[in-house]
Amino acid sequence: MDMVENVLKDSQTERNELLHKVQEQQPDDEILYDLAELFKVFGDSTRIKILYAMFEHELCVNDIAGLLNLSQSSVSHQLRILKTSKLVKFRREGKSIYYSLDDEHVRSIISMGMEHVEE
Amino acid sequence: MDMVENVLKDSQTERNELLHKVQEQQPDDEILYDLAELFKVFGDSTRIKILYAMFEHELCVNDIAGLLNLSQSSVSHQLRILKTSKLVKFRREGKSIYYSLDDEHVRSIISMGMEHVEE
DNA sequence: TTTACATATGATTAAATGTTCATATGTATA
DNA sequence: TATACATATGAACATTTAATCATATGTAAA
């Protein structure tokens, strides 16, 4: 084995070690699946509109439908998805149900995305 | 108009003003559409796996396919989407093309999402 | 300039997903 | 308790989208 081959071999070994490290640092598929599911929820313009509308204040279903010019049914369906993903919480007041963002993470993620979009 | 009606009227007016404010603070549909499109890109487990693998180091197409047990074609298709959304950049070195995350925003968004998932 | 290697791309197919429509459930009021 | 109001939900349909297969493009080495 001459010098040149030696250098090549070492460089390859180094690369393999790197790939091994990447392999190790990669989170479990399950976690990455959940992460993708989370972003998927943000990845629909109707849902983003709804989330954004709730950025500062709680809103009831009819408020949202009226504000965003969406059908009551559509809003309700989407809110169910947002509830399931723990992005919004809600409380009943008489006949109405008021929805609001569940925690600061939701606001942070939206803000972070907005920064990237506004570039 | 008696006192009670007056109070009701005022409370309604207040609510209308609130809804008006929400209406005004809502970004243009176009921006919210772009924002949703951005999150949609993060919202696929294959793409998230690819992005995560590149978290620390640049990788070529074959590296990614090998690491994540994906077809070359599938990886290439997804990388095209990531390129189009400006989430990854790339450089050619000989026959290989090395991809890496485009900026810190990408890392931030993934990290932020990860925090929410790991709760 | 062939040949092999690395990546990209177009077409097709199957699965996932959002909206609509109709209807059900739940709550307050006459 | 009958009626109206607010929200939720199931089924059907149309659209979007990711994976695959076949093939094209681009680059380096023999």
- pLDDT tens per residue across span B19-49: 999 999 999 999 999 999 999 999 999 999 9
* Count of Cβ atoms closer than 10 Å to residue A30 Cβ: 9
Q: Is the domain of B38 the same as that of B49?
A: no
| pLDDT-based confidence at residue B9 (cuts at 50, 70, 90) | low
Say how many domains are in chain A. Answer: 2
Q: What is the pLDDT of residue A9?
A: 56
* A37 and A83 inside one domain: no
Find the CATH number of the domain harbouring A99: 1.10.10.10
Instruction: List bases in chain D with any atom under 7 Å of a protein Cβ.
Output: 5-10, 17-23, 26-29
According to the model, what pLDDT value does residue A7 have? 54
Partners of B96 in beta bridges: B93
Both B60 and B2 in one domain: the answer is no
**pLDDT above 60: residue B6:** no
Identify all chain A residues contacting B16, using CB atoms and an 8 Å cutoff. none
Write down the pLDDT at residue B1. Answer: 45
Q: Are B99 and B78 contained in the same domain?
A: yes
Pairwise pLDDT comparison (B116 vs B50), residue with the higher score: B50
Spatial strand order in the sheet of B96-101: B59-60, B96-101, B88-93
User: Are A16 and A49 in the same domain?
Assistant: no
Q: Which of B23, B111, B115, B77 is nearest to A68 (CA)?
A: B23
Are A2 and A59 members of one domain? Answer: no
Do A55 and A15 lie in one domain? The reply is no
C1’ D22 / CA B72, Å: 13
B8 and B58 part of one domain: no
Instruction: State the pLDDT at residue B5.
Output: 47
Spatial contact of A68 and A53, defined as CB atoms under 8 Å apart: yes
pLDDT class of B85 with cuts at 50, 70, 90: very high
Whether residue A19 is found in the same domain as residue A65: no
Same domain, A109 and A59: yes
In B, which residues are within 8 Å of A117 by CB distance?
A: 31, 34-35, 38
The verdict on A20 and A54 lying in the same domain is no
What is chain A's pLDDT, residue by residue, as a tens digit (119 residues)? Answer: 444 545 555 677 888 899 999 999 999 999 999 999 999 999 999 999 999 999 999 999 999 999 999 999 999 999 999 999 999 999 999 999 999 999 999 999 999 999 989 88
Residues B51 and B100 in one domain: yes
A47–B38 CB contact, under 8 Å: no
Residue B109 structural domain: 44-119
